[in-house]
Amino acid sequence: MEIYDYVQKQPTPPPPIGSDLGYSYKDSYEFSPNDSWLWLELFIITDRYNRELAKQLEIIRATGAILVISNQHGFAIQPVIDPASKKGWTCVEQYNAERKYLFPYSNMLIESLKQLRAFYENYFNTRK
């Protein structure tokens, strides 16, 4: 048996507990690719605070939301409303029903949005 065959058969070890490699994020919302990279960064930032918060944001994004610049918190999450329910939430009430799961994480989310804004500004300042 070649060493390659032996290595092939060995299972990949799990990442250490608390590792950043334990979960990978994907932006599943195909209708707004321009802010996809910002959402991925937001998922990573919030995951450092609380994985449940990051997963809840993933649900909100996948259903339909965009990030818009906000002077108050750096960025704001804006729902995409689509009565046909093909590109977003059918109504604001549907979005608000899901958004309530973010309330326990409000302070973490606000801090994460501010960090995202700092990341965004740093990214563009270094590209000048």
Structure tokens at 108: 């973490």
Query: How many independent structural domains does the chain possess?
Result: 1
What was the pLDDT predicted at 22?
61
24 falls within a domain: no
Q: How far apart are CA 90 and CA 79, in angstroms?
A: 10
118 falls within a domain: yes
17 falls within a domain: no
What residue type is assigned to position 4 of the chain?
Y
Quick: pLDDT tens for 26-62.
899 999 999 999 999 999 999 999 999 999 999 999 9
CB 81 within 8 A of CB 95: yes
Q: What is the DSSP letter of 35?
A: G
6 falls within a domain: no
pTM score, whole prediction: 0.79
Q: State the residue range of the domain holding 84.
A: 30-122
* Average pLDDT score over the chain: 86
**Burial per residue of 28-42, b for 16 or more beta-carbon CB atoms within 10 angstroms, e otherwise:** ebeebeebbebbebb
Place of tokens 């070890």: 13
